[in-house]
Each structure stands twice: as structure tokens, then as C-alpha cells.
Amino acid sequence: MSVASQQTAPGAGVLRAQVGRWRAELWAAAPYCVRYTPAAGGLGFAFDPQIGEHAFGNDRREGFIARAGGLAWVPAGCDVYSASERGGAYLRIEGLCGPDRPVRDLTDRGAEVAAQALRRALLTGADPLQAEAPILTLAARLAAVQAAPRTAPRGWMTPQRLRRIDALIEARLEEPLLVSDLAAALGLSPGFFARAFHEATGRAPRTHILARRLNRATDLVRGTRRPLAEIAAVL
């Protein structure tokens, strides 16, 4: 469990489950601001790219971009602050063993497959035995990839630039929008923009636009009385 001094999060959008000695949390995409000190180490997996501000231990706050498909780890006793205006679907597991320092944005195909399997198990209320296997796989993949050498990202796509792109997508979700429109907003060629965006977020721009439209459609279905045909037509 964690000792939290401040937490603003979509309570109804967090699915929690106890799987043996592990505690799993599945967060829906929503704005959040959290500050806590975990009593046990925690593994995280980002299903969506996220932009925000964070700090670990005594570090000062800084902007971050979390890649879709990125693994993260926070050791027990490490103070954490994290906030995002939009958030993203996120998986967190407490009770695993890991390194004694925070790590983030580790990418591994095996971890991605395991995270998706655990997500399905949690959403469907599957037998704990079905959830145990992907948890063990995630722990093993974390140990493998955090020890491997990493290539530093070139960092052209800063949090500020990505926020500009997110704001443009949000404003035009119900309009035709091309990758070239996003590139033009930053004065870039479509090819360079697509490469920089994928490097920063782990997701192609077109895939990101479609995912945001799907999230908007889900919100409209849940929060409005607009007919499904009308929602489908505008998105």
C-alpha cells in the first residue's frame, strides 16, 4: 500500500484487484495529480502517451513525456509527485521486486503483451490464476530490460511541443485532421514530424489521433444522450 499526502484522481476510473500478494490498479485515461510515498515497490505500464510534470525523491519537478508501451519502476520509500492534464490509461502493480532507483520509459514487446493480457483479465474479472502469469512476466521483463544499455532519445519533441499538438487534436476531434496538419503547426515536414512524434510517444501520429477519437466517443456515449449514429458520424 502507499502513504498518500495528496491525491486527485478519477476514483470511479480506477479498477483495483488483489492477486495473491500483489495489488494491481488499472487507471482510465483522465486528468490526475498525485503525491505519495509507496511502502512497496511499484511497476507501471503506460498504455497511452502522457504529458505532464513529475518529481522523484528530492529531485525538482520537471516536464515529462511518457511513451505508450513504456515500463516504469518506483522503489519503496521514494517520494513521488506526478500530474497530467489529460492522463492516459495506466497499469500499476505493487509488491514486486525491482531496482533501488526509479526508472521509466523502458520498452519491451514481451512486457507489452503481458500488460495487455493483465488488462483484459482485470476488466473481465478473470480468475486470479489468469492474472498471475502476466504479472510474473512483467516482473521478469522489468529485470531484463532495466539492466540492458539504453539509447538516449534525441528529445526534439518536448512536452511543450507535444502539448501544442494535443491541443490541436482536441480542438479538431470532430473535424477532418491529417498528420500533415499537425506537422504544419510546428513548421515541420510530415515525415520528420511523424518520426519525432513516434520517438517521443511510442505511437504513430495517425494511431494517436484515432485513439483520441475513440476516447472522445466513449466519453460521449457515457456522458451524453447523443445517438450512437450521430457520435459515429462526427468522429
Domains of the chain: 14-147 (2.60.120.280), 159-233 (1.10.10.60)
- Within 8 A by CB and 6+ apart from 121, the residues are 130, 131, 134
Secondary structure of residue 215 in the 3-state scheme = helix
Three cell numbers, residue 170: 482536441
Residues linked to residue 203 through DSSP beta bridges, in sequence order: none
- Give the mean pLDDT of 122-127: 86
Non-local CB neighbours of 127 within 8 Å, separated by 6+ positions = none
Structure-derived torsion over alpha carbons of residues 157, 160, 166, 171, reported in degrees to the nearest 10? -140
Q: How do strand 22-27 and strand 90-94 relate by DSSP bridges?
A: antiparallel
Question: What's the confidence (pLDDT) of residue 2?
Answer: 46
Strands 14-19 and 42-46: unpaired
pLDDT, one tens digit per residue, over 184-232 is 999 888 888 998 898 888 889 999 999 888 887 777 776 777 776 666 6
